[in-house]
Chain A
Amino acid sequence: MIEKTVNQKAWFLVAPVVAVVAFNALIPLMTVVNYSVQETFGNNVFFWEGVKWFEEILHSPRFHDALLRQMLFTGIILLIEVPLGVAVALTMPRRGPWVSVCLVLMALPLLIPWNVVGAMWNIFALPDIGLLGKMINGMGIDYNFTQQPVAAWFTTILMDVWHWTSLVVLLAYAGLCSIPEAYYQAARIDGASAWAVFRYIQLPKMKRVLTIAILLRFMDSFMIYTEPFVLTGGGPGNATTFLSIDLVKIALGQFDLGPAAAMSLIYFLIILLLSWIFYTLMMRNEAQ
């Protein structure tokens, strides 16, 4: 274990980061806190409202629906992306010329800007001119994501899986690569089946990276905005109006700064709480 000696000069080097973090995280956050307890009618006139907005949001069916939708969405994509990512990582070659080809292919979706992904899938899935939409309809299934809630969900989930499974793949792959060859050899000698190798060697050794992968995917998907906004705009109706889309509607569409601020704080606390619970559980397991 290598630790460094204490050198006070190091603080100067950290100072710019502290300034940046303060500027783009702390100050906006404090502004939001400020809004969340006040009422405004424009002209920079504010009235103190206390916790009224928080109560209102917590009791509003609209928020409950959005939260439920959000949790469902995040749950579904985690259930698909994590096993799928691990499965893909397992099939990737671990050495040879194909390694870099696979890695580049896997990284491609991650490099595409979010709004482009949304626009791409929007066109791709259009029932009349999109390749996907046309194909599905061609198979005799009535599919129109701009009008059917189920189709909208299906398309949104498919898009997210396409966009983000690669991240899980890359992380799981890194975990797999760090397993020493001796483990595989020992398992072969012990007569372990492929399933046993996965269950007792690969999965335990991937646990740490998978924890990170799940955390990242959880937080990201919980805050998803751009792609469904471009794809479906939250519709049809409110079918794909996830929390962040709803939030923007309140804040900008209705210009209700107070409730929007209160909602974003609640939103933030939910993510923080769930991440913390998940991480603590995983790490406690580790310690045992």
Chain B
Amino acid sequence: MAKITLEQIAHSYLRSPDTDDDWALKQLDLTWSDGGAYALLGPSGCGKTTLLNVISGLLRPSRGRVLFDDRDVTHIPSDRREIAQVFQFPVVYDTMSVFDNLAFPLRNRGVGEDRVRPRVIEIARMLDLEDMLYRRAAGLTADGKQKISLGRGLVRSDVNVIMFDEPLTVIDPHLKWELRSKLRELHQEVGATMIYVTHDQTEALTFADQVVVMHEGRVVQTGTPIELFEKPSHTFVGHFIGSPGMNMLPCDIRDGMPWFLDNPIEIASAVRGHQEASRLEIGVRPEFVRFGSTGVPVEIVKMADVGRYRVVDARHRGHSIKMVMPEDLDIPPENARVVFDPSKTQVYGDGWILT
């Protein structure tokens, strides 16, 4: 296991990039500590797979250095970086049995058969694959194959990091829960550094202790799931995490207080640096909006029953304010007003947080 440091990494697939858009990864610095569970979250094309390939050594970055602990591995190929990777589509060696699949990385490294067997059986037990050790891997279901891919990483004791590239893409929803909690459980059991790449916020937030959110080749925020949820540092994070995403309302600052059209909005902390921003917005999550006797008058346009909660679409002078309401809470029939939780309401200037 090792600490992973990315120093001023940037990458372009073009030979001579000139504009900003030519860079798939714009400059970034990241440090991932030993034994952590990390997620790399972002929409397709945000650069997360490029970053993953830089770490695994399948891609050499145009600029910057990759360090495992204090060792510079930037120019070391992936097979000598001692990493493991689980891909989007399951990769198993079809002609081998489950046992041989799991033993493969050990045998390749010349580990003796007397040590291979107990290790493979131990890993199979962790992954609930014991019953099918002697079946051919080709006949397994998608989730079984993904477990094998994962097992091939776990079986080695010298692995620096295990990486997951959208590993649940081909798994049925009801099995996703199982496999995901299994991953989480394994992380706690073996304590390996794990990096999980996904576009699915639920997978990222539930898996990781630290989530790195990427947008257009940049890291826009690194934080715990709670920080990302309660205090997004960029409007993109507010929009991308949470379902529905954060409400963004235009505002201006009068005497240090944000105003949404003609409504003063109370917030817990002071706004700084708003003079330089050309566009100011108030951000509040649907979970932190509730009905009140004072506040912004709204008209209720739509209400969606999502089972365990309801999503209310309220409008104030054409601006949509979404609210998430518990299953059995009543909704005022008319003259509804909404208030925002002051400690969970932020002001953004040109997309970046000002509070």
A91 at the interface (CB under 8 A from B): no
Q: Are the CB atoms of A191 and B89 closer together than 8 Å?
A: no
A182 at the interface (CB under 8 A from B): yes
B96 at the interface (CB under 8 A from A): yes
CB distance from B197 to the nearest CB of A (A): 13
Q: Which residues of B contact A183 (CB under 8 A)?
A: 91
Q: B81: nearest residue on chain A (CB-CB)?
A: A189
Residues of A249-288 whose CB lies within 8 A of B: 288
Contact with B along A202-236 (1 / 0, CB 8 A): 00110000000000000000000000000000000
In the complex, how many residue pairs between chain A and chain B have their CB atoms under 8 Å apart? 52
Q: Are the CB atoms of B108 and A182 closer together than 8 Å?
A: no
Assuming the contacts A189-B78, A189-B79, asked whether A200 and B91 have C-beta atoms less than 8 A apart, the reply is no
Q: Which residues of B contact A182 (CB under 8 A)?
A: 87-89, 91
Q: Which residues of B contact A205 (CB under 8 A)?
A: 94
Q: Are the CB atoms of A186 and B85 closer together than 8 Å?
A: yes
Q: Which residues of B contact A188 (CB under 8 A)?
A: 58, 77-79
CB distance from A199 to the nearest CB of B (A): 8
Q: A193: nearest residue on chain B (CB-CB)?
A: B108
B344 at the interface (CB under 8 A from A): no
CB distance from A126 to the nearest CB of B (A): 48
The total of chain B residues at the interface (CB under 8 A) is: 24
Q: Which residues of B contact A201 (CB under 8 A)?
A: 93
Q: Contact size class for A?
A: 10 to 19
A201 CA / B101 CA spacing, docked (Å): 12
Q: Which residues of A contact B85 (CB under 8 A)?
A: 185-186, 189
Q: Are the CB atoms of A190 and B58 closer together than 8 Å?
A: no
* Cross-chain contact of B104 among A180, A192, A204, A288 (Cβ < 8 A): A192
Q: Are the CB atoms of B108 and A204 closer together than 8 Å?
A: no
Chain A interface secondary structure, helix, strand, loop or mixed? helix
Q: Are the CB atoms of A204 and B79 closer together than 8 Å?
A: no
Q: Are the CB atoms of A204 and B87 closer together than 8 Å?
A: no
A180 CA / B94 CA spacing, docked (Å): 14
Q: Are the CB atoms of A186 and B77 closer together than 8 Å?
A: no
Q: B91: nearest residue on chain A (CB-CB)?
A: A186
Residues of A171-199 whose CB lies within 8 A of B: 180, 182-183, 185-186, 188-193, 196
Q: Are the CB atoms of B77 and A190 closer together than 8 Å?
A: no
Residues of B61-115 whose CB lies within 8 A of A: 77-79, 83-85, 87-89, 91, 93-96, 104-105, 108-109
B149 at the interface (CB under 8 A from A): yes
CB distance from B317 to the nearest CB of A (A): 51
Residue of A185, A196, A288 most packed against chain B (CB within 10 A) = A185
CB distance from A10 to the nearest CB of B (A): 35
B239 at the interface (CB under 8 A from A): no
Q: Are the CB atoms of A185 and B87 closer together than 8 Å?
A: yes
A180 CA / B165 CA spacing, docked (Å): 15
Which residues in B have some Cβ–Cβ distance to A below 8 Å? Answer: 56, 58, 77-79, 83-85, 87-89, 91, 93-96, 104-105, 108-109, 136, 149, 152-153
Which residues in A have some Cβ–Cβ distance to B below 8 Å? Answer: 180, 182-183, 185-186, 188-193, 196, 200-201, 204-205, 288
| Known A182-B91, A196-B108; further 14 A-B contacts with Cβ < 8 A | A180-B91, A182-B88, A185-B56, A185-B78, A186-B87, A186-B152, A188-B78, A188-B79, A189-B105, A190-B108, A191-B79, A191-B105, A191-B109, A200-B96
